[in-house]
Amino acid sequence: IIIGSTDDRAPAGFAPIAIGLGLTLIHLISIPVTNTSVNPARSLSQAVFAGGEYLTQVWLFWVAPIAGAVLAAAIYRVVGAKG
């Protein structure tokens, strides 16, 4: 959403609306299902306070967004290439 809405070809002023609605949709759909946290820092703080098994899982909250960003950028370079 961020890459597409901030592209030079996107309508001016559209980025805040698209990004905000996308983030809202992520929360509305996934929090009731998995208690999703889209902020790795928040995930880390909760894991530190909860301790135990939660600390062994917190790496995923850092690796997954980075991997997703790299994958999204690669796909956008191919699909959204100016041509």
6 neighbors 83 (Cβ within 8 angstroms): no
Lowest mean pLDDT among 32-36, 42-46, 57-61, 67-71: 32-36
Q: Are residues 54 and 83 in the same domain?
A: yes
pLDDT category of residue 24 using cuts at 50, 70 and 90: very high
Using CA atoms, how far residue 18 sits from 10, 12, 47, in Å, is 11, 12, 31
Question: With 70 as the cut, is the pLDDT of residue 83 above it?
Answer: no
Q: Which pLDDT score, from 0 to 100, does residue 32 have?
A: 87
Cα–Cα distance measured from residue 76 to residue 72, given in angstroms and rounded to the nearest whole number: 6
Average pLDDT in the 12-36 region?
88
Task: Provide the pLDDT for residue 49.
Answer: 92
Range of the structural domain that residue 19 is part of:
1-36
* 28 and 62 inside one domain: no
If asked whether residues 28 and 44 sit together in one domain, one would say: no
Mean of the pLDDT values across residues 34-45? 84
The verdict on 32 and 49 lying in the same domain is: no
Distance in angstroms (rounded) separating the CA atoms of residues 62 and 80: 26
Both tokens of 33, joined, read 């299902």
Tell me: do 31 and 47 sit in the same domain: no
In the DSSP assignment, the letter for residue 13 is T
